[in-house]
A and B are shown apart, each in its own frame.
Chain A
Amino acid sequence: MAQTILVIDDSASLRQVVAMALQGAGYEVLQAGDGQAALALLDGRKIHMAICDVNMPRMNGIEFVKAAKALPSYRFLPILMLTTENQDAKKAEGKAAGAKAWMVKPFVPTTLLNAVSKLCLP
């Protein structure tokens, strides 16, 4: 059975590009437009990994990571931050919140897929 990856980004076109890359490699993809919409999808279903933007309306990526990690069923969910931000201070915030990796957009599909295969839960 394919692994499911939750993609969270307020840019629909970016979500589509990420989804295309993941689906092409055999992953199933769920999409959410912000952290709050993503949290609503953490309803007990099996999710193997999340890929999350940082700057989003309503609930940003760092807030989402903290909220997801507070849910017992998703405490070990690996989360990769995929963002235009590259400052070390922001990366430290992501790490402190519980993210597992930080990738700067625009991403190269091979690099994203390598990171996903490294982080995705079995």
Chain B
Amino acid sequence: MTVRVAPGTDRALVELVCGVLPVWFRHLEGSRHQSEAAVGQMLAAFGELEPRLAAKPDDAGSAHDLTEPVERLYQGFQYQDRISQMVALILQDMQRLQQALLQGDSSLDAALWLARLESAYVMADQHQHHGSASADGSDETTFF
């Protein structure tokens, strides 16, 4: 595909790409890491569950509580949602860049671009991948 870039945008484009690509990379790398960790967590939980489920009721230790590994399985299943949100945001940003280039946007600015991307973060992990401080907040349940 031949892409026409408006005159004068080349330098800004290089700066933009050099600024944005490492951020995209860290987001995708972070998502990949979380995905692996979630599967690892679920496999470990399943590994603990399997012998307990297979144990006969009168086996010694068969009364081991299943709650803890089951809860870790539940948590592991939820990582798909987090990872999906992280990746979706990066895909949107890639599309936004493609559109800007195709439209010959001459106002490309790396700092502004990254600030706009950062404003869309909703998770502390995303700020961490970006290399910025996250907004104040706690993961504790809050009752109003």
Q: Which of A99, A105, A115 makes the CB contact (< 8 A) with B81?
A: A105
Indicate if the CB atoms of B74 and A108 lie closer than 8 Å: yes
Give every chain B residue within 8 A of A99 (Cβ-Cβ).
144
Interface hits, B95-120 → A, CB 8 Å: none
A-B contact count (CB 8 A): 86
Residue tally, chain A, CB below 8 Å to B: 35
A117 sits at the interface (CB 8 A): no
Give min CB distance, A6 to chain B, whole Å: 18
Are A110 and B136 within 8 A (Cβ)?
A: no
When the two chains form their complex, are residues A89 and B143 in contact, meaning their CB atoms are under 8 A apart? Answer: no
Q: CA–CA, A110 to B65, complex, Å?
A: 14
Contact among A54, A88, A111 with B141 in the assembled complex (CB-CB below 8 Å): A111
The minimal Cβ–Cβ distance linking A18 to chain B, given in whole angstroms, is 9
**B6 at interface, CB cutoff 8 A:** no
Interface string of A61-92 (1 = CB under 8 A from B): 00000000000000000000001111111110
A-contacting residues of B (Cβ < 8 Å)? 67, 70-71, 74-75, 77-82, 84-85, 122-124, 134-144
